[in-house]
C-alpha cells in the first residue's frame, strides 16, 4: 500500500537532492520558500487529513525537467488518480518548455476534474490504522507553514496534532510542533520571557503598573492558561510586533525548549522519574543555590537538557544524584537512595573543581 508519509515523491522530498540544489544557480526555489509558490506551480495537490501537500514543481523549465525524472521513478507506485492528475499537468509543462518526455509521460492523459486530489488513509492488510502516518504528515505541514502562521495559529494547530498523536498512541517528533503544544508545566524559557517584558515596560509607568498586575494574575494561573493572558497584554502594549525581533512570544516562552521525549521509551520514562524525584525532594537548593534549584523544580528535564549545554558543572551535580536515585519506586528505597545521593553530591561540590565557574556548597548561583 502506498504511504505518502514515507515516500520520496519529488525533489523537495529528497534530502539528498536538496543538499545539491544550490548547484542549479538559483533556478530552484529553496525548500523553505516553497510555501510561497502558487498551486499552479505544482502538478498535483494532495489533500489529506493531515493537510495539503503539493507535489512535482513545474514553476520553470528546470523544476519541470527534474520533476519529470522523479515522476518517472515513482509513477508505478502512485495511486491511480494521483498519477493521472500529476501526469496530465507534468506533460503539459514539458510541452510548454519544449522538454523531451520521460517514458512515464508519453501516454495519453485526460484533463482531470481538479488539480487537487483527496487522499484518504486506509487500513493495511493487518488492520493497522495509518493514524501515525497522518500525525507525521500533519507535523511536516506544520513545519512547512511555520513561518507564515501567527502564534495563535501555531498553538491551535499544535494542540490538534498533539491530541491526534495521543489518540493514535504515537509521539510528536517535530520540534516546531512540540514547542507550541500546550503543557501542564513551564519550560526553561519562561523566566527569560517574563524578564524581557519587565525590561520593555521600565520606561512607561502605565505599562509597568499594568504588567505588575498581570504578573499577579499570571502566578495563580495554570501553565495552559497563563500564556494567553500574557499574549493579551502583549497585544495591548504593542509587544507582539517585536516577536520577530527577538522577544519570546508567550507560548514559546511558556512551553518551548522542553526536550522531545518519546513517551514509549523506557529509558526516558526512568530518567523522567528520577529527575522528578530529585525535584520533588528539593535536593539541589542547598547544593547549587536558590536560582538553579527553582529552575529545576519548575521543569526538571528541561533544566537538565539546557544545563548539559550551558551549565555542565550543574548537570554534573544532577548526574551524581541520578546515580544514587533508585529506579525502585518504593518509599523506603527512595529515602535511602536520596540520603546517599545528597551526601555524595555535597562532598563533590565541597572539593575544588578543575572546571571554571564551579560553585561551593550553599553559594547562590545567578
CA distance 94 to 99: 5
What distance in Å separates the CA atoms of residue 195 and residue 189, rounded to the nearest whole number?
10
Please provide residue 259's backbone torsions phi and psi, each rounded to the nearest 5 degrees: -55, 140
Pairing of strands 51-57, 116-118: unpaired
pLDDT tens track for 188-231: 999 999 999 999 999 888 999 999 999 989 888 889 999 999 99
Per cent of the chain over pLDDT 70 is 77
84 within 8 A of 58, measured Cβ to Cβ: no
Burial of 264 (0-12, 13-18, 19+ CB in 10 A): exposed
Q: How far apart are CA 181 and CA 177, in angstroms?
A: 6
Confidence of residue 355 (pLDDT cuts 50, 70, 90): very low
155 band by pLDDT with thresholds 50, 70 and 90: very high
Give the range among 120-129, 265-274, 285-294 with minimum mean pLDDT: 120-129
Write out the three cell numbers for 69.
525524472
**Cα 200 to Cα 196: distance, rounded to the nearest angstrom:** 6
Rounded Cα distance between 230 and 238, Å, is: 12
Confidence of residue 264 (pLDDT cuts 50, 70, 90): very low
Lookup: cell for 310:
550551558
pLDDT of residue 61: 93
pLDDT digits (tens, 9 = 90+) for 55-98: 999 999 999 999 999 999 999 888 899 999 999 999 999 999 99
More confident residue, 15 or 235: 235
Would you say the C-alpha torsion 288, 291, 293, 295 has a positive or negative sign? Answer: negative
Residues facing 116 on adjacent strands: 45
pTM over 0.75: no
Cβ(31)–Cβ(63) below 8 Å: no
Q: Among residues of the chain, what percentage have pLDDT more than 90?
A: 31
Cβ-based neighbours of 214, under 8 Å, separated by 6 or more: 229, 230, 233
Residue in this structure with the C-alpha cell 499570571, named with its chain if needed: 218
- As given in the structure block, the three cell numbers for residue 341 are 545521593
DSSP string, 119-147: ------TT----HHHHHHHHHHHHHHHGG
Q: What is the pLDDT of residues 311-325, one digit of tens each?
A: 888 888 888 888 777
The three cell numbers of residue 72 are 518517472
Residue 185 and residue 291: Cα distance in Å, rounded?
18
Distance CA 320, CA 199 (A): 37
Query: Which grid cell is 311?
Result: 551549565
Q: Return the pLDDT at 356.
A: 34
Beta bridge partners of 57: 42
Structural domain spans, the chain: 4-118, 135-179, 190-255, 266-350
Amino acid at each position: 500500500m502506498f504511504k505518502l508519509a514515507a515516500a520520496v515523491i519529488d525533489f523537495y522530498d529528497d534530502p539528498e537532492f536538496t543538499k545539491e540544489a544550490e548547484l542549479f544557480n538559483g533556478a530552484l526555489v529553496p525548500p523553505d520558500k516553497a510555501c510561497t509558490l502558487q498551486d499552479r506551480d505544482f502538478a498535483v495537490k494532495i489533500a489529506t487529513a493531515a493537510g495539503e501537500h503539493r507535489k512535482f514543481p513545474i514553476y520553470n523549465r528546470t523544476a519541470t525537467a527534474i520533476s519529470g525524472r522523479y515522476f518517472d521513478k515513482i509513477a508505478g507506485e502512485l495511486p491511480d488518480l494521483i498519477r493521472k492528475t500529476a501526469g496530465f499537468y507534468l506533460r503539459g509543462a514539458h510541452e510548454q518548455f519544449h522538454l523531451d518526455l520521460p517514458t512515464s509521460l508519453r501516454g495519453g492523459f485526460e484533463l482531470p476534474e481538479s488539480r487537487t486530489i483527496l487522499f484518504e488513509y486506509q487500513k493495511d492488510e493487518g488492520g493497522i490504522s495509518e493514524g501515525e502516518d497522518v500525525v507525521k504528515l500533519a507535523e511536516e505541514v506544520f513545519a512547512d507553514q511555520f513561518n507564515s502562521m501567527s502564534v495563535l495559529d501555531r498553538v491551535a494547530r499544535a494542540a490538534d496534532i498533539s491530541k491526534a498523536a495521543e489518540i493514535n498512541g504515537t509521539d510528536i517528533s517535530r520540534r516546531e510542533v512540540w514547542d507550541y503544544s500546550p503543557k501542564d508545566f513551564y519550560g526553561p524559557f519562561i523566566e527569560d520571557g517574563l524578564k524581557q517584558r519587565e525590561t520593555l515596560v521600565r520606561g512607561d509607568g502605565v505599562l509597568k503598573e499594568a504588567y505588575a498586575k498581570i504578573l499577579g494574575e499570571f502566578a495563580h494561573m495554570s501553565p495552559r492558561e497563563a500564556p494567553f493572558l500574557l499574549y493579551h497584554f502583549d497585544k495591548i502594549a504593542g509587544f507582539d510586533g517585536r516577536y520577530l525581533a527577538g522577544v519570546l512570544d508567550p507560548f514559546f516562552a511558556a512551553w518551548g525548549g522542553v526536550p522531545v521525549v518519546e513517551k514509549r521509551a523506557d529509558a526516558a520514562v526512568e530518567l523522567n522519574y528520577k529527575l522528578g524525584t530529585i525535584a520533588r525532594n528539593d535536593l539541589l537548593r542547598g547544593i547549587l543555590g536558590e536560582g538553579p534549584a527553582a529552575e529545576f523544580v519548575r521543569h526538571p528535564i528541561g533544566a537538565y537538557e539546557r544545563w548539559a549545554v550551558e551549565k555542565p558543572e550543574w548537570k554534573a551535580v544532577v548526574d551524581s544524584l541520578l546515580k544514587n536515585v533508585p529506579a525502585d519506586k518504593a518509599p523506603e528505597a527512595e529515602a535511602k537512595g536520596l540520603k546517599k545521593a545528597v551526601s555524595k553530591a555535597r562532598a563533590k561540590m565541597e572539593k575544588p573543581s578543575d572546571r571554571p565557574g564551579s560553585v561551593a556548597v550553599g553559594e547562590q548561583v545567578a
